Amino acid sequence: MKAKELVSDSLNDQQVMMLRLLKKPLPEADFIQIRRLAVKLLSKQLDETVQEWEKNNNVTETTYEELSKEHFRRKSANS
């Protein structure tokens, strides 16, 4: 299988576009800055997803405090 076929089969259009944008190597400082921006964006999206889940499931700080005091170990089959 040719590399071009592999890329088009396993990557979506946005991923291919990003690879084209970064075809030419960047200075290390610029690459680090892009990585940090990507991580910051993904972190923000994750925070928003968790906040929405907490809202939809009525999860509060108190819920987390109560859960932290419980244990989640299963009883062994021999008990």
* Domain residue limits, the chain: 25-70
- The 10s digit of each residue's pLDDT in 18-40 is 999 999 999 999 999 999 999 99
> What pTM value is reported for the model?
0.64
- What is the model's pLDDT at position 4? 59
Q: What burial class does residue 71 get, using C-beta atoms within 10 Å of its C-beta: 0-12 exposed, 13-18 middle, 19+ buried?
A: exposed
- What is the model's pLDDT at position 28? 96
Rounded Cα gap, residues 45 and 35, in angstroms: 15
Rounded Cα gap, residues 13 and 19, in angstroms: 10
- What is the model's pLDDT at position 5? 54
- What is the model's pLDDT at position 24? 93
- What is the model's pLDDT at position 60? 96
Q: Enumerate residue ranges in the chain where pLDDT < 70.
A: 1-8, 76-79
